[in-house]
Amino acid sequence: MKNATTAAIAPAYTVQCADVWLTVQATIKALRVPFPNSEDSRQHNKFKVTVKSSNGEKATFDFFDSQSNYNKGIQELDSAALKGALSCFVSDATTGINATNVEDLMSEFGWNVDSRKEYQRATRIYKACVKASEKLELLGITPDEQFELANLLDQ
């Protein structure tokens, strides 16, 4: 008889929004990396998060875990951390809906619109937020439902 090996099942988080079920899983992508779009040089782990929808679509995004988890050597996201990662992603998406343009985003966060450096950073962030909303729409979550999902994930 051959020895059977079993693959470890990665943790998952599942949530329903309207008529769509989302299943979230993550894999480690990089260790000891700085947070993007920030001057903060502290180290984090970078994860590739995959969201699968009951409509058959799939979307991915990068998630940078906390410095505390990096310091603890945590290299896998449990269900609660996956919920947190999805919550961050949905928060970005709703920011992309609320802000009508880069200047609006800068105003919302109190950034100096006359600073070229801040404007370039805000442009990258704004584009990422709009893209997050578009990915959720692909998964079957309308803009209005994205706000509902944000509220659900904050509970």
- Residue 77 CB neighbour total at 10 angstroms: 26
Residue 37: per-residue pLDDT: 63
Asked if residue 51 is part of any domain, the answer here is yes
- In the 8-state DSSP scheme, what is residue 78? -
In this prediction, residue 1 has a pLDDT band, given cuts at 50, 70 and 90, of very low
Asked if residue 131 is part of any domain, the answer here is yes
CA distances from 35 to 62, 66, 73, 134 (A): 11, 9, 17, 23
Residue 138: per-residue pLDDT: 97
Q: Into how many domains does the chain fold?
A: 1
Residue pair 33/46 in contact by the 8 Å Cβ criterion: yes
pLDDT tens digits, 87-131: 999 999 999 999 999 999 999 889 998 999 999 999 999 999 999
- Which residues are 34's β-sheet partners? 43
Please give the Cα distance from 29 to 35 (Å, whole number).
14
Gap between the terminal Cα atoms of the chain: 50
**What are the backbone dihedrals phi and psi of residue 63, each rounded to the nearest 5 degrees, phi first?**
-130, 130
Residue pair 40/121 in contact by the 8 Å Cβ criterion: no
Asked if residue 2 is part of any domain, the answer here is no
Asked if residue 8 is part of any domain, the answer here is no
pLDDT tens digits, 67-98: 888 889 889 999 999 999 999 999 999 999 99
Give this prediction's pTM.
0.88
Asked if residue 54 is part of any domain, the answer here is yes
pLDDT tens digits, 4-38: 554 556 799 999 999 999 999 999 998 888 777 66
Asked if residue 82 is part of any domain, the answer here is yes
- The range of the structural domain enclosing residue 113 comes to 13-153
Residue 99: per-residue pLDDT: 94
Cα dihedral across residues 154, 95, 133, 146: positive or negative: positive
Asked if residue 114 is part of any domain, the answer here is yes
Asked if residue 1 is part of any domain, the answer here is no
In this prediction, residue 2 has a pLDDT band, given cuts at 50, 70 and 90, of very low
